[in-house]
Amino acid sequence: MGRIAALILIGNEILSGRTRDDNIQFLATNLGELGIPLREIRVIPDVRETIVNTVVEFRARFDEVFTTGGIGPTHDDITSPCVAEAFGVPWEFHPATYDMLKEQFGEDFNAARQRMAKLPRGAVPIPNPVSRAPGFSIGNVHVMAGVPRIMRAMFHELAPTLKRGNPVFSRTWYTTSLFEGTIADGLEAIQNRFPALDLGSYPFHRDDGRRGVALVAKGQNTDDVNEAARAIYTLIKEKGGDPIEGEPPP
């Protein structure tokens, strides 16, 4: 069994529809490349008990846990104290972070901003090259900002410190001349030959009428992925389709 990850998006703005998520795909793709694929994602509100319970559950179930959101200066930014609670450690000023933010804000370093200088005891800050206030890692839990530009910058700081697995490798064939239902049985037979791989069938319908289906073989064993991709090519041919390698054009 390889290394697996989970993601917790914390905050009401995705749940209310105000904000469109712009973090999931970035993290899913990058974690796959690091060989720590995402196995579950939860989007939860800014509610103390929910955050604490989810962190406690996830840090036991997954090798690495990532959170986004809830680390700013406002009243609903409660991720950091909740993670401290989940680890059973105090939430206290982190001296180096306090000094850095004090220098940044000067006279404007008010009570709200001082909250951003508190971390769970034992946490290691994740630098924030965009707006300074850091994320942090504690154990296998990595706490990042929700603003996509800041989250990405933090992830690039964090990534080199993560223990990698085998990268997820994938190959895709698509066809515009067959329907999903025509090849489903054949695809299941290939899946049964390669139980460790993730074989997917993704129909597409474009607004201009182009349609078809993309078949994806994905996994952490390159040889198996290549062999399954060959079997997918053969399946499309057998069913009278025209296999084209790669993702269908948008």
Q: Least distance from C-beta 235 to its own copies, angstroms?
A: 12
Positions 82 through 141 that interact with its own copies (CB under 8 A): 105, 108, 110-113, 116, 130
Burial class (CB in 10 A: 0-12, 13-18, 19+), 95: exposed
52 or 199: CB nearest its own copies: 199
| 191 is a contact residue toward its own copies (CB under 8 A) | yes
Angle at 75 between CA 154 and CA 124, to 5 degrees: 30
**From CA 173, how far away is CA 245, in angstroms rounded?**
4
Between the alpha carbon of residue 23 and those of residues 52, 77, 97, 128, 232, the distances in Å are 21, 18, 25, 16, 31
**From CA 37, how far away is CA 12, in angstroms rounded?**
25
**Contact with its own copies (CB under 8 A) among 32, 120, 165, 241:** 32
**Contact with its own copies (CB under 8 A) among 199, 217, 225, 231:** 199
Which candidate, 37, 116, 33, 131, places its Cα nearest to that of 80?
Answer: 116
Positions 205 through 244 that interact with its own copies (CB under 8 A): 205, 216, 218
How many residues form the binding site for its own copies (CB under 8 A)? 63
Please name every residue paired with 127 in a beta bridge, in sequence order, or none if there are none.
none
Reading the block at residue 4, the tokens are 């697996």
Contact criterion met (CB below 8 Å) for 195 and 166: no
| 195 is a contact residue toward its own copies (CB under 8 A) | no
Q: Least distance from C-beta 105 to its own copies, angstroms?
A: 7
Burial class (CB in 10 A: 0-12, 13-18, 19+), 129: exposed
Per-residue binding letters, 148-177, with its own copies (x by CB under 8 A): -x------------------x-x-------
121 or 191: CB nearest its own copies: 191
Q: Least distance from C-beta 242 to its own copies, angstroms?
A: 18
| 39 is a contact residue toward its own copies (CB under 8 A) | yes
- Site residues (vs its own copies, CB under 8 A): 12-21, 24-30, 32, 37-45, 50, 72-76, 105, 108, 110-113, 116, 130, 147, 149, 168, 170, 179-182, 184-185, 187-188, 191, 198-203, 205, 216, 218
